[in-house]
Structure formats: C-alpha cells, structure tokens
Structure 1
Amino acid sequence: MNSRSFRHLLQDLARVALAAGLILVGAQQHGLAAEPQASGSAPVKMQGLRGGTPLDQDNAPTPIRQERDHAPSDRDFVQQPPLIPHTISSYQITKNYNKCMDCHSFQKSKDSGATKVSVTHFRNRDGQELDNISPRRYFCTQCHVPQTDAKPLVGNTFQRARGLQ
C-alpha cells in the first residue's frame, strides 16, 4: 500500500469515528442511548413509541389539543376579532393549507375543543354563503393575533366600548 492510499484510509477512518461520536452524543442528548448502570442496580427499561402495543396491532390515535397559553381575553370593541390564546409560531397558513383549520373547522372543533370558525367566515364579499371558508377570510392572522401580556410600547388613552365594560 502506498503512502497516499494509506493517508486516504486514515482520513476515512477519522471521518467514520467523528460521525459515530456525533451520533452517540446526539443519542445521549435525546435520551436514546442506554445510560450506564451502576453495578448491582436494576436494568433500565426502555419504553418504545408504540407503548407496548404489538406490531400486528395499531395504536389508537390520540386527539391533539392545543394547550392554551392564556385564558381568552375579553374584547375591547364591538366586532373585534378574538385574540388567539395559544402560540402559533410554527403554524403554516398558505394558499393550499391552513393549520388553524386542523382544530377550528366545523368538522374538527368538537374533538379538539376549539372554538368553531364563525359562520361569517363562509360569506363572500357579495354576502353569498359558501360551502367552505371564504378566500377573504382564509388567512386567519390578517385579523386574529396571539394575545400577550406585553406592556404597551406607547402610552394611550384608549377606553373599552361602553357596552363591553
């Protein structure tokens, strides 16, 4: 074996060792690697994602419920769109998909415990009732925003509508 091919072999071995080390460190950080056990201690029991369900059976799907970060806020004026009481930072709303409808659609709101989309969202600009969300109401975050406990950046003298006080 010449020195050039030997050097390439060593470089390849170094890359494999580095990759194995990184995989091991990642597995330990995510709790996937077996913890070393002290002599005389009981073996660690690993729990799979299937929760003990045999491979020839399906796990029942668990309903997904978005936990609220805040209790819903009162509205400050008539026709104010409700604030969103949970985080939406990873929500996708595109022309082809609206994550909000996974919980707030008429079909899914009962299972999710979320508020149904208002029937006003099913009317087009001419007042005609549609069988799906109106395109002008489809992008929820045009009107609805996540609520927060942030202090106002600028002082103001805003007063809630008298009928809502």
Structure 2
Amino acid sequence: MKKMLPVMMLSAMTALWSAPSMADDTGGIASLRGLDDLAQPRPADEMKKYPKDRAPLERDYLHQPPLIPHTIRGYEISLSANKCLSCHSWKNYKKYGATKISLTHFETRDGQTLSDVSPRRYFCNQCHAPQADARPLVDNKFQPVEALKPE
C-alpha cells in the first residue's frame, strides 16, 4: 500500500499536467465551421427556408428514401404520436393528396408483414429529410444514377 500511494500521486500529477495541452490539440482535423474556434460557442445559423408544399422531389440513386417536400417544423414524431401518419397513412393519403407510405414500412427485419407500421420504420426522419433551400456545406460533385436522370 505504501508503494502504491506514490505511484497514484505521480499518475494523477501527470494526467493533470498533460490534460490542458491535449485539450487544445485538434489533431489537424478540419471543421465545417472553417477557422472558428471549436471550443467557443457561436451564434446559431439562420433558420433554413423550406419551400411551400410541392410535388415529390426527384430521387438521385436507387433505394433513396424520398425527400420531404415541405417543412416538418412542429411535427411530433415520438413514441406516443407520429404527425406524418396523419396524412401519409394508407387510410388518409387520398384525402390529403399525400404520398402513401411504402409496403416496406410494414415489414419487420425478418420479412414478416405487420398490420401497422413496423417499429423500425416508425420514426420517419431517421431516413427522410425535408429539402431546404440551403447552400451545400461541402463541395459536391455527385452525379445521379444514369437510369434516374430525366429524359
């Protein structure tokens, strides 16, 4: 026990001495914030501008989840409610002129078809995102799949 105390003290002093220098080292990793200091909070970005409700957006690759062509601000998507299903469910989609959810949203990972939306597909914004009118964060040279390009 007497030998352990000096070792523990030395370890603690080394950790305290090296912590400040390690905290300042970013390892050369660049940030999408540019040259802003990552340790300092910065003002929030301007709110994104979402277009009014419109026709579904074109897809760029096979099996791409459709983009949401309207804002979802204020939509509750939680364990107790899913606002998306009020328009996009098989029961209501015609009434609201919305796209109905795919049959795949009713399948379990084992391929069993359920009578209601599968829990793994219930939280829509895990895959689907609203399309905002915003500048790209990084340079993008992506080209859509040839088969999906408009003629």
| TM range, smaller chain | 0.5 to 0.7
Question: How far 1:112 sits from its partner (Å)?
Answer: 1.0
**Matching of residue 92 in structure 1 with residue 76 in structure 2:** yes
Q: Which runs of 5+ in 1 are unaligned?
A: 1-66
Instruction: Point out which structure has higher relative CO (alpha carbons under 8 A, 6+ apart).
Output: 2
1:78 pairs with 2:62: yes
Distance change in 2, residues 1:159/1:149 (3 Å):
same
Deviation string 1:58-113 (CA, Å, 9 cap, x unpaired) is xxxxxxxxx94344221010000001111101000111210101101111111111
SS in 1 for 2:95: helix
Is residue 164 of structure 1 aligned with residue 148 of structure 2?
A: yes
Paired residues in the alignment total: 99
Q: Give, in angstroms, the shift of residue 156 of structure 1.
A: 2.1
Moved over 3 A (4+): 67-71
Q: What pairs up with 1:5-154 in 2 under 5 angstroms?
A: 68-154=52-138
Q: In structure 2, how many angstroms separate the alpha carbons of the residues matched to 1:80 and 1:143?
A: 9
User: What TM-score do you get using the length of structure 2 for normalisation?
Assistant: 0.62
Q: TM-score of the superposition, structure 1-length normalised?
A: 0.57
Larger Rg over CA atoms: 1
Aligned-residue identity in percent: 58
RMSD of aligned residue pairs (Cα, Å): 1.5
Structure 2: gaps (5+ residues): 1-50
